[in-house]
A and B are shown apart, each in its own frame.
Chain A
Amino acid sequence: MMLNHSSKWTGFLGLIPFAFVALIWWIIPQTMEYPKYMLPPIQEVVERYFEMVQDGSLLKHTLASLRKLAIGFGIGSVLAIMVGVSIASSRRVSEYLSPLLTFLQSIAGVAWIPLAIIWFGTGTNAVLFVIINTIFFSCINNVVTGVQQIPEVLRRAALSNGASPIQILFNLTLPGALVQLIVGFRTSLAFGWRALVAGEMIASAKGLGYMTLEAVQWYQTGTVMSGMITIGVLWLILDRWLFKQIEYATVVRWGILKK
Chain B
Amino acid sequence: MNSRVDSRRWHSIQQWGAGFFKKLIGIFLLLICWQISVPLINLESYFYPAPYDVWLAFIDLLSKGILHSYLLDSTGRYLLGLFTGVSLALLLGVLIALNQTVAKAFLPLINFLFAIVEVAWIPLFVMWFGYGLTTIVVALTYVAFFPMLFNTMSGIQTTPPVYINAAKTLGAGPWALIAQVYLPSALPQILTGLRTSAGFTFRGLIFSEMIASKSGIGFLIFEGSTNQQTARTIVGMICMGLAWMFLDLFYIKPIEKATVVRWGMLKTAENAS
B175-198, CB under 8 A of A: which get 1 and which 0? 000000000000000000000000
A76-114, CB under 8 A of B: which get 1 and which 0? 000000000000000000011111101110110111111
Give the total of B residues in contact with A, Cβ under 8 Å. 55
B217-231, CB under 8 A of A: which get 1 and which 0? 010011011101010
Question: In the complex, how many angstroms separate the beta carbon of A229 from the nearest chain B beta carbon?
Answer: 7
Contact between A233 and B115, CB atoms less than 8 A apart: yes
Measured between alpha carbons, how far is A201 from B120 in the docked complex, in Å? 9
| Interfacial chain B residues near A113, Cβ < 8 Å | 210, 222
Complex: chain B residue closest to A237, CB-CB? B115
Contact between B104 and A110, CB atoms less than 8 A apart: no
Question: In the complex, how many angstroms separate the beta carbon of A37 from the nearest chain B beta carbon?
Answer: 7
| Interfacial chain B residues near A227, Cβ < 8 Å | 120, 123
Measured between alpha carbons, how far is A240 from B149 in the docked complex, in Å? 19
Measured between alpha carbons, how far is A54 from B244 in the docked complex, in Å? 45
A194-213, CB under 8 A of B: which get 1 and which 0? 10011001100000110011
Chain A residues 11-65 with CB under 8 Å of chain B are: 13-18, 21, 37-38
A111, A212, A216 — which one has the most chain B CB atoms within 10 A of its CB?
A111
Query: Is B170 interfacial (CB-CB < 8 Å)?
Result: no
Measured between alpha carbons, how far is A198 from B218 in the docked complex, in Å? 13
| Interfacial chain A residues near B107, Cβ < 8 Å | 14
Complex: chain B residue closest to A9, CB-CB? B104
| Interfacial chain A residues near B23, Cβ < 8 Å | 95-96, 98-99
Complex: chain A residue closest to B110, CB-CB? A17
Measured between alpha carbons, how far is A237 from B106 in the docked complex, in Å? 19
B110-134, CB under 8 A of A: which get 1 and which 0? 0111011111111110111000000
Query: Is B25 interfacial (CB-CB < 8 Å)?
Result: yes
Query: Is A225 interfacial (CB-CB < 8 Å)?
Result: yes
Query: Is B46 interfacial (CB-CB < 8 Å)?
Result: yes
Measured between alpha carbons, how far is A189 from B67 in the docked complex, in Å? 33
Contact between A197 and B115, CB atoms less than 8 A apart: no
Beyond the given A13-B104, A208-B120, please list 16 additional residue pairs across the A-B interface where CB-CB is below 8 A. Answer: A14-B104, A14-B109, A18-B112, A106-B241, A107-B244, A111-B237, A118-B230, A194-B207, A197-B120, A209-B120, A215-B123, A232-B115, A232-B120, A236-B111, A236-B112, A236-B115
B interface with A by C-beta (< 8 Å): 22-27, 30, 46-47, 101, 104-109, 111-113, 115-124, 126-128, 203, 206-207, 210-211, 218, 221-222, 224-226, 228, 230, 233-234, 236-238, 240-241, 244-245, 248
A interface with B by C-beta (< 8 Å): 10, 13-18, 21, 37-38, 95-100, 102-104, 106-107, 109-115, 117-119, 191, 193-194, 197-198, 201-202, 208-209, 212-213, 215-216, 219, 221, 224-225, 227-229, 231-233, 235-236, 239
